[in-house]
Structure 1
Amino acid sequence: MSDLGLRLAVVASLGPLACGDNGGTGSASATTTVTTQSPTTTDPPPTTTQVPTTTAGDTTDGSGGQSSSTSTTSTGAVSVTDGSATGLKFDLGVQPDAGEGCGGGGGGGGMADFSYIWIANSAEGTISKIDTQTLQEMGRYLVRSDSLGSPSRTSVNLSGDVAVANRLGGVTKVYADPEDCQDTNGMPGIQTSNSPAYLPWGVEECIAWYTPFAYTTQRPVAWTSGELDQATCTYKNQKLWTAGGQNNVANSLVVNRLNGDTGAVEDTIPMPDVPIGYFGAYGGAVNQDGDFWFVIYDVVPSHLVRVDAVTLAYDKYVVPPGICPYGFTVDGKGRPWIGSFCQESVRFDPDSQQWATFPVLGYGIQQDALGRMWIADYQLPGVREIDSETLAVGKSIVLPSFSVKGVSIDFYGYVWVVDMNQSAFRVDPVTDQYQSYDGLVGPYTYSDMTGWGLSNVVFPPG
Structure 2
Amino acid sequence: MTRTLSQFGWAAAALLAVLNGSVAASANDLVCSRVYTLNADFDEGTLLNVNHNIPDQLQLNTETKPFPFIWVACSARGTVVRIDVNTGTILGEYLSAPAGRPHNPSRTTVDLNGNVWVSNRDEADGIGGVPHGSVVKIGLVIGGTRVDAGGNPDPNGEYLKPPFLYSTAVDRDGDGLIKTSRGLGDVRPWPDFGDGGGGGGGGAALVQDADDECILIYQRLPDAPNARHVSVTKDNDVWVGGYPFAQRMFHKLSGIDGSILASFDARPFGAGGYGGFIDANNVLWSASISQNSLLRYDLNLMAGMAIPINQSYGLGVDSAGFVWNAMWTMNTVAKLSPAGVMQAGFPVPTGGSCSRGVAVTLADNHVWIANSCTHTVTRLDNAGNLLKSIAVGNTPTGVAVDANGKVWVTCLGSDTAERIDPTVGLGTVDLVVNLGPGAAPYNYSDMTGNLILGVVQQGTWTVVHDSLVAGTDWGTVSWTSTEPAGTSIKARVRAADTIAGLPGIPFVDVENGVNFCDKGVAGRYIEIQAVFSRQPGIQETPILYDLTVQCCNRPPVALCQDITVCTDPGTCEATVEAADVDAGSYDPDGDPITMTIAPPGPYPLGQTIVVLTVTDPLGESDSCEATITVVDCEAPSVECVPTTNPAGKVVPPAGNNPKSGQNPDGFYQLLAADNCDPNPAIYVADSASAFMAGPFQSGDKVKITQAPGVKPTQKPGAGVIVAHILLKGDAVVVAVDASGNMARCMCLVPPPPK
Query: TM-score, normalised to structure 1's length?
Result: 0.53
Residue among 342, 350, 373 paired with 2:299: 350
| Cα separation, 2, equivalents of 1:285 and 1:180 | 33
Partner of 2:264: 316
Work out whether residues 211 and 264 of structure 1, in 8 Å CA contact, stay in contact via their aligned partners in 2: no
Cα deviation for residue 336 of structure 1 reads 0.5
Partner of 1:365: 315
Partner of 2:91: 139
What per-residue deviation string (whole Å, max 9, x for no partner) do you get for residues 201-244 of structure 1?
A: 38xxxx9x9996315xxxxxxxxxxxxxxxxxxxxxxxxxxxx6
Is 1:418 the counterpart of 2:403 in the alignment? Answer: no
Cα deviation for residue 340 of structure 1 reads 1.9
After TM superposition, the structure 1 stretch with the greater mean CA deviation from structure 2, 412-421 or 162-171, is 162-171
Relative distance call for 1:385 and 1:437 in structure 2 (3 A) is farther
Partner of 1:293: 239
Cα deviation for residue 283 of structure 1 reads 1.6
| Cα separation, 2, equivalents of 1:369 and 1:102 | 22
Partner of 1:453, secondary structure, is helix
The 5 Å alignment of 1:375-390 reads 375-379=325-329, 384=333, 386-389=335-338, 390=341
Residue among 414, 420, 427 paired with 1:433: 427
Partner of 1:5: none
| Cα separation, 2, equivalents of 1:105 and 1:98 | 13
Q: Which has the higher contact order (CA 8 A, sep 6+)?
A: 1
Partner of 1:214: 196
Cα deviation for residue 415 of structure 1 reads 4.8
Residue among 161, 168, 185 paired with 1:198: 185
Cα deviation for residue 146 of structure 1 reads 6.4
Instruction: Compare the two structures and name the one with the higher strand fraction.
Output: 2
Is 1:121 the counterpart of 2:46 in the alignment? Answer: no
Relative distance call for 1:293 and 1:174 in structure 2 (3 A) is closer
Residue among 128, 139, 142 paired with 1:177: 142
Work out whether residues 21 and 177 of structure 1, in 8 Å CA contact, stay in contact via their aligned partners in 2: no
What per-residue deviation string (whole Å, max 9, x for no partner) do you get for residues 301-330 of structure 1?
A: 534444688996524143455536311211
The 5 Å alignment of 1:28-427 reads 101=58, 103-104=60-61, 115-133=68-86, 136-143=88-95, 149-162=103-116, 164=118, 171=136, 173-175=138-140, 177-179=142-144, 184=149, 188-191=153-156, 197-199=184-186, 201=188, 213-215=195-197, 254=202, 256=204, 258=206, 275-276=223-224, 278-279=225-226, 281-298=227-244, 301-306=247-252, 313-319=261-267, 322-323=270-271, 325-342=273-290, 343-352=292-301, 353-355=303-305, 357=307, 359-379=309-329, 384=333, 386-389=335-338, 390-392=341-343, 393=346, 396-398=350-352, 399=370, 401-402=372-373, 403-421=395-413, 422-424=415-417, 426=419
| Cα separation, 2, equivalents of 1:308 and 1:160 | 16
Partner of 2:11: 19
Partner of 1:177, secondary structure, is strand
| Cα separation, 1, equivalents of 2:154 and 2:93 | 18
Relative distance call for 1:291 and 1:445 in structure 2 (3 A) is same
Cα deviation for residue 131 of structure 1 reads 3.8
Partner of 1:230: none
Work out whether residues 416 and 424 of structure 1, in 8 Å CA contact, stay in contact via their aligned partners in 2: yes
Relative distance call for 1:162 and 1:415 in structure 2 (3 A) is same
Cα deviation for residue 123 of structure 1 reads 2.2
Cα deviation for residue 254 of structure 1 reads 3.9
Cα deviation for residue 335 of structure 1 reads 0.7
What per-residue deviation string (whole Å, max 9, x for no partner) do you get for residues 138-174 of structure 1?
A: 4342437869854444443434344555666784635
| Cα separation, 1, equivalents of 2:107 and 2:186 | 21
After TM superposition, the structure 1 stretch with the greater mean CA deviation from structure 2, 370-379 or 98-107, is 98-107
| Cα separation, 2, equivalents of 1:156 and 1:211 | 27
Work out whether residues 172 and 211 of structure 1, in 8 Å CA contact, stay in contact via their aligned partners in 2: no
Partner of 1:32: none
Relative distance call for 1:291 and 1:171 in structure 2 (3 A) is closer
Relative distance call for 1:156 and 1:305 in structure 2 (3 A) is closer
Partner of 2:12, secondary structure, is coil
Residue among 452, 456, 459 paired with 1:458: 456
Work out whether residues 154 and 165 of structure 1, in 8 Å CA contact, stay in contact via their aligned partners in 2: yes
| Cα separation, 1, equivalents of 2:109 and 2:192 | 15
Partner of 1:34: none
Partner of 1:448: 446
Relative distance call for 1:356 and 1:291 in structure 2 (3 A) is same
| Cα separation, 1, equivalents of 2:410 and 2:184 | 20
| Cα separation, 2, equivalents of 1:256 and 1:140 | 26
Q: Which amino acid aligns with 1:302?
A: R
What per-residue deviation string (whole Å, max 9, x for no partner) do you get for residues 64-106 of structure 1?
A: xxxxxxxxxxxxxxxxxxxxxxxxxxxxxxx9x8997363357
Relative distance call for 1:20 and 1:354 in structure 2 (3 A) is same
Work out whether residues 325 and 341 of structure 1, in 8 Å CA contact, stay in contact via their aligned partners in 2: no
| Cα separation, 1, equivalents of 2:151 and 2:434 | 31
Q: Which amino acid aligns with 2:275?
A: G
Q: Which amino acid aligns with 1:118?
A: W
Cα deviation for residue 118 of structure 1 reads 1.0
Cα deviation for residue 379 of structure 1 reads 1.8
Percent of aligned pairs sharing the same letter:
23
Relative distance call for 1:357 and 1:415 in structure 2 (3 A) is farther
Work out whether residues 148 and 154 of structure 2, in 8 Å CA contact, stay in contact via their aligned partners in 1: yes
Work out whether residues 126 and 147 of structure 1, in 8 Å CA contact, stay in contact via their aligned partners in 2: no
Work out whether residues 400 and 448 of structure 2, in 8 Å CA contact, stay in contact via their aligned partners in 1: yes
Partner of 2:454, secondary structure, is helix
Cα deviation for residue 418 of structure 1 reads 3.0
Relative distance call for 1:256 and 1:98 in structure 2 (3 A) is farther
Q: Which amino acid aligns with 1:350?
A: L
Work out whether residues 73 and 442 of structure 2, in 8 Å CA contact, stay in contact via their aligned partners in 1: yes
Superposition RMSD in Å: 5.1
| Cα separation, 2, equivalents of 1:340 and 1:349 | 17
What per-residue deviation string (whole Å, max 9, x for no partner) do you get for residues 178-218 of structure 1?
A: 4387764766245489997433638xxxx9x9996315xxx
Cα deviation for residue 337 of structure 1 reads 0.7
Cα deviation for residue 443 of structure 1 reads 0.9
Partner of 2:559: none
Cα deviation for residue 375 of structure 1 reads 4.2
Q: Which amino acid aligns with 1:386?
A: K
Work out whether residues 418 and 443 of structure 1, in 8 Å CA contact, stay in contact via their aligned partners in 2: yes
Q: Which amino acid aligns with 2:91?
A: G
Work out whether residues 271 and 306 of structure 2, in 8 Å CA contact, stay in contact via their aligned partners in 1: no
| Cα separation, 1, equivalents of 2:281 and 2:234 | 8
Relative distance call for 1:119 and 1:200 in structure 2 (3 A) is closer
Work out whether residues 304 and 319 of structure 1, in 8 Å CA contact, stay in contact via their aligned partners in 2: no
| Cα separation, 2, equivalents of 1:338 and 1:377 | 13
Partner of 2:196, secondary structure, is coil
